[in-house]
Amino acid sequence: MIALTAGFPADSLSEEEIETGVIPVIGGIEQVNYTLIRNHIIAKWRENVSVWVTKKMFTDYIPQHYNALLDSAYNYLVSHGYINFGIASAIKDKIPTEPSKAGVIIIGAGLAGLAAARQLMR
């Protein structure tokens, strides 16, 4: 159910995931395992969106031989802005105390502005 609220099909890949190539072969057990891992990551982040979700949080729950699927799902969700965005405390930790030479100004302090700032900090 969490996957549906995040805009993903509950038991299959989204078109964007297929185009991105999150798994080498569509269909079969690898796809099932990928969607389970993806949905678990989304659910974990939705428990508390102000806590930065890391891959390490899942090593106790996901067997080691699924690390490639964990990497793929986690990297996809982070790089496409489905998890770890907004007002997470990790943003405050990465703001330098000394200003850098180059700078970008984000106008707007809403979720979109904070998400844009977060993406630019990477």
Q: 80 and 91: one domain?
A: no
Q: 97 and 78: one domain?
A: no
Contacts 24+ apart (CB under 8 A), 19-27: 20/76, 20/80, 22/72, 22/73, 22/76, 23/69, 23/72
Structural domain tally of the chain?
Answer: 2
Give the angle 87-48-64 at the CA atoms, nearest 5°: 110
Q: 15 and 59: one domain?
A: yes
Q: 71 and 90: one domain?
A: no
Q: 72 and 99: one domain?
A: no
Single pTM value for the model = 0.69
Average pLDDT value for the chain:
85
Domain span at 92:
85-122
Q: 57 and 80: one domain?
A: yes
pLDDT digits (tens, 9 = 90+) for 17-58: 999 999 999 999 999 999 999 999 999 999 988 889 999 999
